[in-house]
Chain A
């Protein structure tokens, strides 16, 4: 959903079996950090900075968890697209749930 030129928000679902453990969280942070925009991720209870590994690991997102990703800034569209691809299509390079 494009809220304005510089704000972008989507819901993504964790689909790899092991969930958002540290290695996937690091991949997420690496991608998020490439972009200038401010990115926040929320699991409903906790809202964290997508560029902080400590905060991302706090989400404890298991397989099936839906996260809201909100980016604000000039390159928000590209950031959201790449994050969505990493999580829902590439599955962080990990296997899906059997």
Chain B
């Protein structure tokens, strides 16, 4: 599994229009629903589940990135969306710094192993200083997707 296989190419937002954590989550879930990756009728419910998960324990792992995620019965296949913000979003991160890159991951409820594989993939890349830096510097959806594919080919 490659990162570029998980992230939906049409669900990359280079300049998030909102800076509130919950609104960012809704925007990212919304774009996945708009491109048909999740059922439109369930988008609200899925966003609420992500927010509720986030309230239990922040996925703002520091270094400017956050990985909100949830396992949900309406999600058929592991899928991710990426949103970037130049102003930064308060994710109650471990290092108290704002998140500039947000990777939203949605997984089916009944396949925990697949979810772990996707997380491994995301974190393997986030771990690299260059990956985080390029992701943060990318200003267009194309540039962001290029960062993903470049790092996956390594």
Contacts and interface: CB of A to CB of B under 8 A. Distances in A.
Interface string B109-124: 0001101110110011
B138 to A, nearest CB: 20
Q: Would you call the interface of chain B mostly helix, strand, loop, or mixed?
A: helix
A59 B126 contact: no
Interface string A16-32: 01111111001000000
A63 B112 contact: yes
A68 interface: no
A54 B94 CA distance: 12
A58 B123 contact: yes
Contacts of A21: 112, 115-116, 119
Q: Which of A19, A22, A55, A63 has the most CB of B within 10 A?
A: A22
Interface of A: 17-23, 26, 53-55, 57-63
